[in-house]
């Protein structure tokens, strides 16, 4: 290269680096007017006692209503009546379906769409053989001064009791909402049974009365500390704006079977092995959606200067990030429909060739993809045309994606940053299912967010052993719900 070219290239690189440095310097969170925030006094002892007592009632639901043990649910309803007298005096209560509670707090105006706060009363059972692993029995509701222990302390009696505490406190203060406020407490979220779902019945209740909801808030994201030394020190308030779909599909191969002493080259299982390889080798296409880009962007803007040099080029980096994410399973689940081969069956005896071999493939569909896409995809990638594909009942398409510029999302953003200037408020995709998606028929602004500061390690105890909530996270949850109701029940 001659000298001129070298000088030219050096100048171009320097100029680009300069432009990038300037971009990184202005790549910061949007400056917002900071509203003065004075944390209000909360009756923490009351919340602790009521949450601990709520955990003692083992509200475990069954798929089939005929198998339900209603006694704990009846007891839980009595418990709520006894502990929240103002709510039961000032709000109306209906049971659109046995077990589910729908409270209506009438607002001053009826020309405005109401808001709804959702929670489910039921909890998951304790996995067989794990009871002895618990530090404190799961239904004792032990409060050891640091945590409240037990099933439901994270999913989601903490949230339900938090909402009740907040409404009771607002009533005691004489607060009157402008819009109607609904509290919708389903009774069987954990058993994923849309046929008898309490949430479906409650949505039906709104539909029949022509009630359109302004916004819905349900379980979902928590507040996660994000600390990487020298790069970021923040709290991530993830607001779930969508949830993935769910489907189990049986893929099977039929064969003659017979005695295993005279096997063919490939038994049904042998052939099925090829089918499984086809399925696993052809994953769904990844896509870093605008929602995910917004999440990366919100986090990137909070990073320290050298990292911002990279993050400010997010649109350019999109293809690389997308690819890297597919290599890390938890990250991959955020960018595509996932495929998990989970159960297999063959012949009933060691010396019998299978007449049918099958696997269950579990799919979690990415918003935008449907059960039809899953079937189409399987038909395309499985080369063995003998394979039979059967979608099992109980599938659910992904939810719609709620907007990030609605009145409710903006309020969530304001409340979270007001309560903690270190908050990063970002939309995200919820992996599991919630009751919230059933409300799509009556609401477009559906958000999934639990205002409890819980670290990732602890969050993994949800549905597992030693589920517990830090007492330090409780006060702010009440403050959040009170602010949320005050703000969103207004005009
Ligand atoms: Zn839950």
pLDDT exceeds 80 at position 406 = yes
Q: Which of 348, 370, 391 is the last residue of a domain?
A: 391
Q: Are residues 366 and 419 in the same domain?
A: no
> What is the Å distance from ligand 1's center to 300 Cα?
30
Task: Supply the CATH number for residue 89's domain.
Answer: 3.40.630.10
Q: What is the average per-residue pLDDT within 318-333? A: 89
CA of 120 to the centre of ligand 1 (A): 7
Rounded CA-CA distance 81/265 in Å is: 68
Percent of the chain with pLDDT over 70: 96
SS3 assignment, position 70: coil
* Mean pLDDT to the nearest integer, 352-371: 96
Confidence of residue 30 (pLDDT cuts 50, 70, 90): confident
Q: Model confidence at 329, in pLDDT bands (50, 70, 90)?
A: confident
* 179 and 143 fall within a common domain: yes
pLDDT exceeds 70 at position 194? no
Query: In the predicted model, is pLDDT for residue 87 greater than 90?
Result: yes
Of 366, 391, 416, the residue at which a domain comes to its end is: 391
207 DSSP β-pair partners: none
pLDDT at 161: 98
Same-domain pairing of 53 and 136: yes
Query: Binning pLDDT at 50, 70 and 90, where does residue 13 land?
Result: low
Quick: pLDDT tens for 227-242.
Answer: 888 899 999 999 999 9
122 is catalytic: yes
CA distance 234 to 336: 27
Q: CA–CA separation, 481 vs 491, rounded Å? A: 17
Same domain, 406 and 270: no
Whether 59 maps to a domain, the answer reads yes
Whether 193 shows a pLDDT value over 70: the answer reads no
**CA 354 to chain centroid:** 40
With 80 as the cut, is the pLDDT of residue 59 above it? yes
User: What is the 152 CA–ligand 1 centroid distance (Å)?
Assistant: 8
Does 109 share its domain with 204? yes
pLDDT value at residue 24: 75
For ligand 1, the distance from its centroid to the CA atom of residue 421, given in whole angstroms, is 28
| pLDDT, position 372 | 97
Give the Å distance between the CA of 411 and the centre of ligand 1: 23
Residues 427 and 373 in one domain: no
CB distance 94 to 102 below 8 Å? yes
For the stretch 132-135, contacts whose Cβ atoms lie closer than 8 Å and that sit 24 or more positions apart, written own/partner, are 133/465, 133/466, 134/465, 134/466, 135/466
Q: Please say if the pLDDT value at position 263 is more than 80.
A: yes
Q: For residues 327 and 424, state if they share a domain.
A: no
Residues 166 and 485 sit within 8 Å (Cβ to Cβ): yes
Q: What percentage of the chain has pLDDT greater than the value 90?
A: 77
Q: Identify whether 435 is part of a domain.
A: yes
Per-residue pLDDT tens digits for 269-313: 999 999 999 999 999 999 988 888 988 888 888 898 888 888 888
pLDDT at position 385 is: 95
Q: Which of 155, 168, 180, 189 is catalytic?
A: 189
pLDDT reported for residue 40: 95
Is the pLDDT confidence value at 317 over 80? Answer: yes
| Whether residue 386 sits in one domain with residue 268 | yes
For ligand 1, the distance from its centroid to the CA atom of residue 7, given in whole angstroms, is 62
- The answer to whether residue 310 sits within a structural domain is yes
pLDDT, greater one: 83 or 1: 83
CA distance 338 to 361: 10
Chosen domain end from 357, 391, 425: 391
Asked whether residue 96 falls in the same domain as residue 157, the answer is yes
pLDDT at 33 over 90: no
Segment 74-91 shows an average pLDDT of 98
Domain-embedded: residue 7: no
Residue 468, in any domain of the structure:
yes
User: Do 71 and 179 sit in the same domain of this protein?
Assistant: yes
- Orientation of helix 157-172 relative to helix 44-55, angle to 10°: 140
In a domain, 12, yes or no: no
For 346, the domain range is 244-391
Residue 21 pLDDT > 80: no
User: Number of folded domains in the chain?
Assistant: 2
Rounded Cα distance between 174 and 167, Å, is 11
Q: What is the mean pLDDT of the chain?
A: 93
Is 1's pLDDT higher than 70? no
Give the SS3 label for residue 176: coil
**159 CA from centroid of ligand 1 (Å):** 10
pLDDT at 458: 93
Residues 104 and 237 in one domain: yes
Query: 432: pLDDT confidence band, cut at 50, 70 and 90?
Result: confident
Both 60 and 155 in one domain: the answer is: yes
Rounded to the nearest whole angstrom, what is the distance from the C-alpha of residue 134 to the centroid of ligand 1?
20
Mean of pLDDT values over 17-35: 73
Specify the pLDDT at position 257.
Answer: 92
CA 269, 270, 275, 280 torsion-angle sign: positive
Inform me whether the pLDDT recorded for 17 exceeds 80. Answer: no
Residue reference for tokens 């109401």? 114
What CATH number did the domain enclosing 359 receive?
Answer: 3.30.70.360
Q: Is residue 39 part of a domain?
A: no
Nearest alpha-carbon partner for 74 in 61, 63, 86, 59: 59
| Residue 41 DSSP label | P
State the DSSP string of 390-427.
EEPTT-BPPPPPPPSSSHHHHHHHHHHHHH-TTEEEEE
Tokens representing 328? 């890390």
Q: Which of 122, 165, 168, 369 is catalytic?
A: 122
């Amino acid at each position: 290269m001659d000298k001129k070219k070298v000088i030219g290239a050096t100048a171009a690189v320097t100029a680009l680096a300069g432009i990038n440095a300037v971009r990184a310097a202005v790549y910061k969170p949007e400056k917002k007017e900071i509203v003065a925030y004075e944390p209000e006094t909360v009756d923490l002892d009351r919340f602790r006692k009521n949450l601990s007592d709520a955990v003692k009632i083992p509200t475990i639901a069954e798929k089939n209503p005929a198998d339900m043990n209603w006694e704990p649910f009846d007891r839980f309803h009595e418990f709520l009546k006894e502990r929240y007298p103002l709510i039961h005096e000032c709000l109306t209560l209906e049971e659109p379906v046995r077990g589910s509670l729908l409270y209506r707090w009438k607002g001053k105006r009826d020309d405005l769409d109401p808001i709804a706060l959702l929670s489910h009363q039921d909890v998951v059972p304790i996995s067989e053989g794990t009871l002895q692993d618990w530090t404190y029995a799961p239904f004792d509701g032990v409060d050891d001064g640091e945590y409240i222990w037990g099933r439901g302390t994270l999913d989601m009696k903490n949230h339900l009791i938090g909402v009740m505490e907040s409404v009771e406190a607002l009533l005691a203060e004489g607060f009157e909402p402008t819009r109607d406020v609904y509290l919708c407490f389903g009774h069987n979220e954990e058993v994923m049974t849309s046929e008898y779902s309490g949430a479906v019945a409650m949505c039906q209740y709104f539909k029949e009365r022509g009630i359109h909801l302004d916004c819905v808030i349900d379980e979902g994201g928590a507040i996660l500390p994000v600390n990487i030394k020298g790069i970021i020190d923040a709290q991530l308030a993830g607001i779930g704006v969508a949830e993935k779909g769910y489907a189990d599909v049986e893929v099977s191969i039929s064969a003659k079977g017979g005695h295993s002493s005279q096997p063919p080259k490939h038994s049904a299982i042998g052939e099925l092995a090829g089918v499984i390889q086809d399925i696993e080798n052809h994953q769904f296409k990844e896509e870093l959606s605008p929602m995910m880009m917004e999440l990366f962007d919100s986090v990137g803007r909070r990073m320290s200067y050298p990292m911002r040099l990279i993050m400010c080029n997010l649109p350019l980096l999109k293809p690389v990030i997308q690819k890297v994410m597919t290599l890390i399973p938890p990250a991959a689940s955020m960018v595509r429909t996932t495929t998990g081969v989970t159960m297999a069956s063959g012949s009933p005896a060691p010396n019998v060739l299978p007449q049918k071999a099958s696997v269950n493939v579990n799919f979690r569909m990415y918003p935008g993809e449907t059960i039809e896409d899953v079937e189409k995809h399987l038909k395309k990638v499985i080369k063995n045309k003998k394979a039979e594909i059967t979608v099992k009942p109980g599938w659910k398409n992904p939810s719609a994606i709620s907007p990030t510029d609605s009145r409710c999302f903006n309020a969530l953003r304001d409340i979270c940053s007001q309560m903690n200037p270190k908050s990063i408020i970002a939309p995200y995709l919820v992996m599991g299912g919630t009751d919230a998606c059933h409300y799509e028929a009556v609401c477009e602004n559906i958000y999934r967010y639990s205002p409890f500061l819980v670290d990732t390690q602890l969050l993994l105890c949800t549905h597992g052993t030693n589920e517990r909530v830090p007492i330090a996270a409780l006060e702010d949850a009440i403050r959040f719900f009170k602010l949320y109701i005050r703000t969103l029940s207004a005009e």
